[in-house]
Protein backbone atom coordinates (compact mmCIF):
# COMPACT_ATOMS: atom_id res chain seq x y z
CA UNK A 1 0.00 0.00 0.00
CA UNK A 2 3.03 2.27 0.06
CA UNK A 3 2.46 5.29 -2.17
CA UNK A 4 6.13 5.49 -3.11
CA UNK A 5 5.90 2.50 -5.42
CA UNK A 6 2.56 2.95 -7.09
CA UNK A 7 1.98 4.48 -10.47
CA UNK A 8 -1.28 5.70 -11.96
CA UNK A 9 -1.99 5.13 -15.63
CA UNK A 10 -5.11 6.39 -17.34
CA UNK A 11 -6.13 4.36 -20.38
CA UNK A 12 -8.78 4.96 -23.03
CA UNK A 13 -9.82 1.68 -24.62
CA UNK A 14 -12.25 0.41 -27.22
CA UNK A 15 -15.43 -0.72 -25.51
CA UNK A 16 -15.25 -4.33 -26.73
CA UNK A 17 -15.06 -7.85 -25.26
CA UNK A 18 -11.76 -9.01 -23.96
CA UNK A 19 -10.10 -5.61 -23.63
CA UNK A 20 -9.98 -5.81 -19.84
CA UNK A 21 -8.31 -9.22 -20.10
CA UNK A 22 -5.76 -7.90 -22.56
CA UNK A 23 -4.87 -4.99 -20.30
CA UNK A 24 -4.79 -7.11 -17.17
CA UNK A 25 -2.81 -9.83 -18.94
CA UNK A 26 -0.20 -7.36 -20.13
CA UNK A 27 0.31 -6.21 -16.55
CA UNK A 28 0.29 -9.74 -15.12
CA UNK A 29 2.89 -10.88 -17.65
CA UNK A 30 5.36 -8.49 -16.04
CA UNK A 31 4.72 -9.85 -12.57
CA UNK A 32 3.25 -6.57 -11.37
CA UNK A 33 0.36 -6.34 -8.93
CA UNK A 34 -2.67 -4.25 -9.80
CA UNK A 35 -3.32 -2.08 -6.76
CA UNK A 36 -6.63 -0.81 -8.07
CA UNK A 37 -8.44 -0.67 -11.37
CA UNK A 38 -11.57 1.28 -12.15
CA UNK A 39 -13.33 1.15 -15.47
CA UNK A 40 -16.42 2.73 -16.91
CA UNK A 41 -17.90 4.35 -20.00
CA UNK A 42 -16.95 7.83 -21.17
CA UNK A 43 -18.62 10.64 -23.09
CA UNK A 44 -18.03 8.49 -26.21
CA UNK A 45 -20.05 5.27 -26.03
CA UNK A 46 -17.42 3.41 -28.03
CA UNK A 47 -14.68 4.21 -25.54
CA UNK A 48 -14.14 3.28 -21.91
CA UNK A 49 -11.67 4.77 -19.46
CA UNK A 50 -9.60 2.64 -17.13
CA UNK A 51 -7.68 4.14 -14.27
CA UNK A 52 -5.04 1.63 -13.23
CA UNK A 53 -2.89 1.94 -10.13
CA UNK A 54 -0.01 -0.54 -10.26
CA UNK A 55 2.70 -1.36 -7.76
CA UNK A 56 5.68 -0.44 -9.87
CA UNK A 57 8.62 1.91 -9.48
CA UNK A 58 8.23 5.30 -11.21
CA UNK A 59 11.04 4.63 -13.71
CA UNK A 60 9.04 1.72 -15.16
CA UNK A 61 5.79 3.64 -15.50
CA UNK A 62 6.39 5.12 -18.93
CA UNK A 63 7.44 1.71 -20.28
CA UNK A 64 4.13 0.38 -18.95
CA UNK A 65 2.22 3.07 -20.76
CA UNK A 66 4.13 2.35 -23.97
CA UNK A 67 3.35 -1.35 -23.77
CA UNK A 68 -0.32 -0.55 -23.20
CA UNK A 69 -0.33 1.69 -26.28
CA UNK A 70 0.81 -1.31 -28.34
CA UNK A 71 -2.53 -3.04 -27.75
CA UNK A 72 -4.60 -2.35 -30.83
CA UNK A 73 -7.69 -1.61 -28.69
CA UNK A 74 -5.90 1.00 -26.58
CA UNK A 75 -6.45 4.50 -27.93
CA UNK A 76 -4.49 6.41 -25.34
CA UNK A 77 -2.44 5.56 -22.26
CA UNK A 78 -1.05 8.27 -20.01
CA UNK A 79 1.17 7.96 -16.99
CA UNK A 80 -0.28 10.76 -14.88
CA UNK A 81 2.10 10.77 -11.94
CA UNK A 82 3.81 14.12 -11.57
CA UNK A 83 0.95 16.00 -13.22
CA UNK A 84 -1.69 18.05 -11.42
CA UNK A 85 -4.56 15.64 -11.11
CA UNK A 86 -7.90 15.12 -9.40
CA UNK A 87 -7.93 11.65 -7.81
CA UNK A 88 -11.09 10.25 -6.27
CA UNK A 89 -12.24 6.98 -4.87
CA UNK A 90 -15.59 5.97 -3.44
CA UNK A 91 -15.89 3.53 -0.56
CA UNK A 92 -18.89 1.89 1.11
CA UNK A 93 -18.05 0.94 4.68
CA UNK A 94 -20.43 -1.21 6.73
CA UNK A 95 -19.57 -0.81 10.39
CA UNK A 96 -21.04 -2.22 13.62
CA UNK A 97 -23.25 0.41 15.21
CA UNK A 98 -25.72 0.26 18.08
CA UNK A 99 -27.74 3.12 19.52
CA UNK A 100 -24.86 3.83 21.93
CA UNK A 101 -22.17 4.22 19.27
CA UNK A 102 -24.22 5.80 16.50
CA UNK A 103 -23.47 9.40 17.47
CA UNK A 104 -19.73 8.86 17.61
CA UNK A 105 -19.72 7.21 14.18
CA UNK A 106 -21.82 10.04 12.74
CA UNK A 107 -19.34 12.55 14.11
CA UNK A 108 -16.55 10.75 12.28
CA UNK A 109 -18.73 10.69 9.17
CA UNK A 110 -19.33 14.46 9.46
CA UNK A 111 -15.63 15.25 9.66
CA UNK A 112 -14.95 13.19 6.54
CA UNK A 113 -18.11 14.40 4.77
CA UNK A 114 -19.30 10.83 4.51
CA UNK A 115 -22.98 10.02 4.02
CA UNK A 116 -24.96 7.49 5.95
CA UNK A 117 -26.59 5.38 3.26
CA UNK A 118 -27.99 2.53 5.36
CA UNK A 119 -28.86 2.04 9.03
CA UNK A 120 -30.04 -0.95 11.03
CA UNK A 121 -30.14 -1.59 14.75
CA UNK A 122 -26.75 -3.26 14.53
CA UNK A 123 -25.00 -1.70 11.50
CA UNK A 124 -24.45 1.55 9.73
CA UNK A 125 -23.17 1.89 6.14
CA UNK A 126 -21.20 4.98 5.19
CA UNK A 127 -20.39 6.28 1.74
CA UNK A 128 -17.16 8.23 1.59
CA UNK A 129 -15.50 9.88 -1.39
CA UNK A 130 -12.03 11.31 -1.67
CA UNK A 131 -8.42 10.53 -2.24
CA UNK A 132 -7.26 7.09 -1.25
CA UNK A 133 -5.54 8.45 1.87
CA UNK A 134 -8.78 10.00 3.08
CA UNK A 135 -10.60 6.68 2.67
CA UNK A 136 -7.75 4.94 4.49
CA UNK A 137 -8.06 7.46 7.34
CA UNK A 138 -11.78 7.05 7.94
CA UNK A 139 -11.44 3.27 7.69
CA UNK A 140 -8.77 3.27 10.40
CA UNK A 141 -10.95 5.46 12.66
CA UNK A 142 -13.95 3.20 12.18
CA UNK A 143 -11.93 0.08 12.83
CA UNK A 144 -12.47 0.10 16.59
CA UNK A 145 -16.22 -0.24 16.06
CA UNK A 146 -15.70 -3.34 13.99
CA UNK A 147 -15.86 -3.11 10.21
CA UNK A 148 -18.12 -5.79 8.75
CA UNK A 149 -17.48 -5.15 5.02
CA UNK A 150 -15.84 -2.66 2.69
CA UNK A 151 -16.34 -2.09 -1.03
CA UNK A 152 -13.97 0.39 -2.67
CA UNK A 153 -14.22 1.47 -6.32
CA UNK A 154 -10.54 2.05 -6.86
CA UNK A 155 -9.08 5.35 -7.91
CA UNK A 156 -10.47 7.45 -10.75
CA UNK A 157 -8.22 10.21 -12.03
CA UNK A 158 -8.36 13.15 -14.43
CA UNK A 159 -5.69 15.72 -15.15
CA UNK A 160 -6.65 19.20 -13.95
CA UNK A 161 -7.38 22.04 -16.37
CA UNK A 162 -7.91 22.02 -20.11
CA UNK A 163 -5.26 19.42 -20.85
CA UNK A 164 -6.56 15.94 -21.74
CA UNK A 165 -5.67 13.10 -19.42
Minimum CB distance to another protein smaller for 10 or for 125: 10
Site membership for another protein, residue 25 (CB under 8 A): yes
For residue 145, how many C-alpha atoms fall within 13 Å in the half-sphere facing its CB?
27
Whole-number minimum distance, CB 153 to another protein, in Å?
20
Contact characters 50-89, another protein, x per CB under 8 A:
------------xx--xx-xx-xx-x--------------
Site membership for another protein, residue 40 (CB under 8 A): no
Please state, in angstroms and rounded to a whole number, the distance separating the CA atoms of residues 45 and 97.
42
One of 14, 104, 127, 136 touching another protein (CB under 8 A): 14
Whole-number minimum distance, CB 51 to another protein, in Å?
19
* 124 Cβ contact list (under 8 Å, min separation 6): 94, 95, 97, 102, 105, 116, 118
Pairing of strands 123-130, 115-119: antiparallel
One of 17, 31, 99, 100 touching another protein (CB under 8 A): 17
Alpha carbon distances (Å) from 127 to 1, 79, 117, 146: 21, 29, 6, 16
Site membership for another protein, residue 45 (CB under 8 A): yes
Sign for the pseudo-dihedral over CA of 129, 130, 136, 137: negative
Residues making contact with another protein (CB under 8 A): 14-18, 21-22, 25-26, 29, 44-46, 62-63, 66-67, 69-70, 72-73, 75
Amino acid sequence: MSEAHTATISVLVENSPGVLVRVAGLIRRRGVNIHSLSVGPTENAAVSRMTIVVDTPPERTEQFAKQLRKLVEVRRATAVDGQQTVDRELALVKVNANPGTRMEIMEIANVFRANVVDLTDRTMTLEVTGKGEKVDAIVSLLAKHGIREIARTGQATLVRGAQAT
